[in-house]
Amino acid sequence: MTDHQLPKTRSGEPRAFFGRRSGKKLHGGQQAVFDATLPDLEIKLDGKLDPRALFPDAEKIIVEIGYGGGEHLALEAGRHPHTGYIGCEVFTGGIGKMVQSIAAEELRNVRLFTDDAYKLLVELPDASLDEVYLLYPDPWPKTRHHKRRFVSPTTLKELARVIRPGGLFHFASDIEDYANWTLAHIVREPEFSFAPHKPGSWHEPYEGWEATRYEQKARREGRLISFYFSFTRR
C-alpha cells in the first residue's frame, strides 16, 4: 500500500479518508523543533505493530485519534507517565504543536502516527489497547461527506478488535448530529456497550477534563452543550 492509497473497508472497498491532509506551514522555530524531534517519535508502519514494543514497561496503552493541537494528549501523558500514548494526527500544524509540547515537557511516553489512524488500527494486534479517544472529530456536516466521518461500521469493528475486553472507547463532540450518529452505530456493534450511570451524564466532561481549543471555539460560537461518551468493550 502506497502512502497515497486509500485504506480498504472490511469488504475490500476503498475507505474515504476521515481527515484533512494539509495545513499551514510551520514557522521557522516550529519547523526546527519539528525536524529535530519528530524522527524519534514518529511511528513508521512496516507490517504489524505491537504497541508493547514501543512501551515495554507501560501499565496501559492508549491511542488518541485526531489530537488536534495536542492539549489533551500532552496533559494526559504528563499526568500518567507509566501509560504509553500513541497520538494520530495528519494536520501539520497540530503535529508541530504536539512535537513542541513533547520537547518542552520532556514527555517520554508518547509516539506519533502522522497518517490515517485506520491504517494504524489494522496493523495492531487483537486486544492490544486499553483505551481509545476520539475527541471533537471533524463532523463533516454535509450529507455527501458523511462517509468521511471516522465513526463507521468499518472503524468500530476494528476498534472492537484492538481494544481489550473491559477497555474503553471515548468519543466527545459538540455536534448533536454526530453524537446521534455515533450512538446509532454503537448500538449496532455488539462488541460495545453504553451504560451511563444516570440520564444526561454524557453531558458531563470526563474526570480531569480541561477544554481543548476546539471546545473553547465551540463555546465562543454558541455551542454550549457537548457529548462525552464512553463505550465499554464487552
Instruction: Give the active site residues.
Output: 138
Question: Taking a C-beta distance cutoff of 8 angstroms, is the pair 174, 215 a contact?
Answer: yes
Question: Is the Cα dihedral 91, 130, 230, 82 positive or negative?
Answer: negative
Q: Any idea what DSSP says for residue 59?
A: S
- List, as own/partner pairs, every contact residues 2-11 make where C-beta atoms lie below 8 angstroms and the sequence separation is at least 24, other chains included: 3/115, 7/116, 7/118, 7/119, 7/122, 9/154, 10/154, 10/157
Q: Any idea what DSSP says for residue 171?
A: E
Question: Is the Cα dihedral 119, 120, 125, 126 positive or negative?
Answer: negative
Question: Taking a C-beta distance cutoff of 8 angstroms, is the pair 113, 152 a contact?
Answer: no
